[in-house]
Structure 1
Amino acid sequence: MAEDEPSDLDEVQPAEEIEVPLSPEERIKELEAGLHEIEKEMLYKQAEVQNALAQVAKVRSEGTRYGGMGLARRIVGSVENLERAIDHIEEDDEGPISSALRMVHKDILASLKTEGVEPIEALGLPFDPAKMEAITTVPSSEEYGQGMVVSVLEPGWVLRDRVLKVARVVVASE
């Protein structure tokens, strides 16, 4: 035989793998393993759905609870302007305009409080950077120790537990 001619020995094909059927016990184990994986995946998906529902409920609740923040900020600005006007009225002035301004101011503050909007208490309390901005410092004294708020330059406001506007304050330091 010539070397150029292919021989039957050179063309040996690999034997095809023959699938041996699984025994019933092995097949049951295989199916149970697959079922276990599917059950596990289903539990993960159920947990994801529960987490998504909880997140939606939280967002909805916060929307209801804090949805009026923008309006509250604007009203607070108007209340501060009203307070500046009232500050220029003589204390003993009982005229109709001054009485009306005081009454409107009182009513607006009561309405804001009903909705959870309140001024930040700062004077004489320790400085809280989450609710206050220190504009300047003054030396501490017997009345105001280090880190205490000595004066409120502009009031701050909160809506429930969220800051609408920080209080601008003067703080005692060494």
Structure 2
Amino acid sequence: MSENTNEEILNENLENQDTTTENTDENISEVDRLKEELQKEKDQYLRLFAEFDNYKKRTTKERFDIFKTANSEVITALLPVLDDFERAMKEIEKSSDQDLFKGVSLIQTKLTETLRGKGLKSVEIAAGDEFDTDKMEAITQIPAPSDELKGKVVDVVETGYALNDKIIRYAKVVTGN
């Protein structure tokens, strides 16, 4: 009986081993499937996190840009006043009234400095400079007084201005032809 029992036990062990092998294969495939699913979720999470980080950076930059140029409408509206001061100063210089010149000069300086504090800068252009479409607008062309002024600025009619390094008014110039 002991032989039969040993043989039965051996058969049972073999059957159990086959079942265990099947279960192990199923477990391995289940683990692989779960690993793939976990990897997909990780990738999706990383993409979402990167997208959100880019969104935060973009909105922060947009908000900063809006803040930098928020007062551009008001400053643009004041540019003709600056032009009027320049014209007035040229005319007052011709008169002999030094007190008037000093008073208007102080007001002009105060306005200019206030606007400079808000980020306004005049675009420096002089006769003889190369014509640059990024800073200037040619309002007319005239025959160049000399060969050196062909294609260059002959006269500056209206000063250009930049607000925080962004051109808000192009300088109006006459170019040589």
Q: Which bracket does the TM-score occupy, shorter chain normalised?
A: 0.7 to 0.9
Across the aligned residues of Structure 1 and Structure 2, the Cα RMSD in angstroms comes to 2.1
Change over 3 Å in CA distance of 1:111–1:144 after alignment to 2: farther
Aligned to 2:78: 75
Letter in 2 for 1:132: M
TM-score by length of 1: 0.79
Aligned to 1:146: 150
How many residues in Structure 1 have an aligned counterpart in Structure 2?
Answer: 154
Aligned to 1:122: 125
CA distance in structure 1 between the partners assigned to 2:120 and 2:148 by the alignment: 28
Change over 3 Å in CA distance of 1:144–1:120 after alignment to 2: farther
Higher mean displacement: 139-148 or 115-124: 139-148
| Unpaired stretches in structure 1, ≥5 consecutive residues | 1-20
Report matched runs for 1:9-158 at 5 Å.
23-123=26-126, 124-142=128-146, 144-158=148-162
Q: CA deviation at 1:141?
A: 4.1
Letter in 2 for 1:82: F
CA distance in structure 2 between the partners assigned to 1:126 and 1:116 by the alignment: 25
Structure number with larger C-alpha Rg: 2
Tell me if 1:162 matches 2:163: no
TM-score by length of 2: 0.78
CA distance in structure 2 between the partners assigned to 1:28 and 1:77 by the alignment: 75
CA distance in structure 2 between the partners assigned to 1:54 and 1:90 by the alignment: 52
3-state SS in 1 of match to 2:94: coil
CA distance in structure 2 between the partners assigned to 1:56 and 1:97 by the alignment: 50
Question: Contact between 1:133 and 1:166, CA under 8 Å: does it hold in 2?
Answer: yes
3-state SS in 2 of match to 1:23: helix
